[in-house]
Amino acid sequence: MSTELQGRTAVVTGASKGIGLAVVQALAGAGATVVAGSRTTTEELDALVKEFPVTWVPVDLAERDAAERLVAAVGGRVDVLVNNVGTAPPRTGGFLSVTDEDWQRTLDLNLLTAVRVTRAALPLMLAAGRGSVITIGSVNATLPDPLVIDYSAGKAALVAFSKALSKEVGPKGIRVNTVSPGPVETELWLGGGGVAETVSAATGLTPAEVAARAAGASVTGRFSKPAEIADVVLFLAGDRAANLTGSDLVIDGGFIPTW
């Protein structure tokens, strides 16, 4: 527990599990009032609602008016926005198996939801003359993988969008950054229907073997934990990062080669 974000209000999308849930816990633990948006809730999110000043807003950000409804729930003030919602469907059938509908859904959830929620929240930040927009990217933005070809394209666009916006709003007191994880211990990777299980069905490897291979691609030999991603988000949300904008902070255990 800390008071680093005491008196500030944060909005987090995709907040019911995984990275989003860890971010809600980190921000609330630092004193922020958090509006947590997701389609459904979980026992873990319900527990945070009971323990901290966290409000859950049921919202499907694929719906065009959902961003405005989510931001309206904050009551007129947004100090921190964390765009986390997204999807990473493995395309084991290759590029030719990915339909226009597949592309549209992936780009909508990974790019346009962040655009819409940011557009809804930004006027409140501009009026206050301060704010921090933090968007969860991916190592696949700079290390695209054919297994997640549409996801890679969407995340690359997301990072570019964030960098461009940072140049416009930086002089007005608003910082815009991205956090790009490598593989993370979440249901997206390890849960039922996740990447490991889907790749397993296509390759004959067990899900554990798929996960082990992915972990082995990192220098550290393991996945990142959601709380580790949340710690980076917390840093960017607070005043310790007051002059940090337009950056993409990578946390991947050395997944992207640096030599």
The set of catalytic residues is 151
**How far apart, in whole angstroms, are the C-alpha atoms of residue 71 and residue 86?**
18
Residues 6+ apart with CB under 8 A from 44: 16, 17, 21
Q: Which of 205, 208, 233, 237 is nearest to 223 (CA)?
A: 208
Is-contact 108 62, C-beta < 8 A? yes
CB atoms within 10 A of CB 113: 26
**How far apart, in whole angstroms, are the C-alpha atoms of residue 70 and residue 82?**
12
**How far apart, in whole angstroms, are the C-alpha atoms of residue 253 and residue 69?**
37
Could you give the 3-state DSSP secondary structure of residue 180? Answer: strand
